Amino acid sequence: MHAQIVLFDGFDPLDVIAPYEVLYAGGTASGGDVSVELVSAEGPREVVSGTGGLVLRATGTLDPGRPGLILVPGASGRVGEPGEVPDHDAGAGEWQQDEFIPVLLGRALSTELPVLMKAAMDNPEVTVGTVCGGSLVLAMAGLLEGRHATTHHLGLDMLDATGVHAVSARVVDDGDLVTGAGVTSGLDLGLYLLEREVGPRIAHAVEELFTHERRGTVWRAQGPVPAAL
């Protein structure tokens, strides 16, 4: 399995690094059955995160035609107070410290990322994963209507408003779409994908290496609908 992890201006570093390390370790544990790279819609470049201007380098261009996994992170920035909205200049120009998360997500939509991700989601050989607000990027682009997905708990209502079946779970498996909730869920998402795509013994080996036990039940649209508790 080859994994492409997408970088865009204002991305959340932990959304990227957590699954990157898990998948990279999975590649080592499996003798090379998993490979992972950082990509962007624009190609190789230095990409500025939304956390203190931390920079990571995308070494390739997002390729929606390549079989495997494509993972989209969320953004790191300011949530804002209830009712607070950005001024008319917000989002203009390059990344700025403490920008609103919706502004950063909206800016990502103004790139080629939505077009490339639509092609990826139309490719039966690609599984799309998201961490935190990554699902909101796809939902705001109109790519998740009618699908089951999760995001950070503060964004569940927004996700639901786009026509997504928003699920309050740490990891949601909707077939070729696997989504994670808050930022640390990237660890659980990566481990689950290793278990699903490579095998539980590889996932367990990485889990032991990282001294991290996955949390919660992976939600799937299977089995009886639970009665009210």
Report CA-CA distances (Å) from 9 to 6, 47, 93, 198.
Answer: 10, 6, 11, 31
Task: Let me know if 132 is a catalytic residue.
Answer: yes
The angle that helices 13-29 and 200-210 make with each other, rounded to 10 degrees, is: 120
- Helix (H) / strand (E) element for 10: namely none
- What is the C-alpha separation between 101 and 115, in angstroms, rounded? 21
Residue 150 · residue 169 · CB < 8 Å: yes
> What does DSSP assign to residue 65?
T
Alpha carbon dihedral 195, 199, 202, 208, in 10-degree steps, equals 40
- DSSP for 88-149? TTTT-SS--TT-BHHHHHHHHHTSSHHHHHHHHHT-TTEEEEEETTHHHHHHHTT--TT-EE
CB 14 within 8 A of CB 30: no
Q: Which residues lie below 8 Å from residue 29, measured CB to CB, with a gap of 6+?
A: 202, 205, 206, 209
Q: Which one is catalytic: 1, 47, 113, 132?
A: 132
Q: Which residues are catalytic?
A: 132
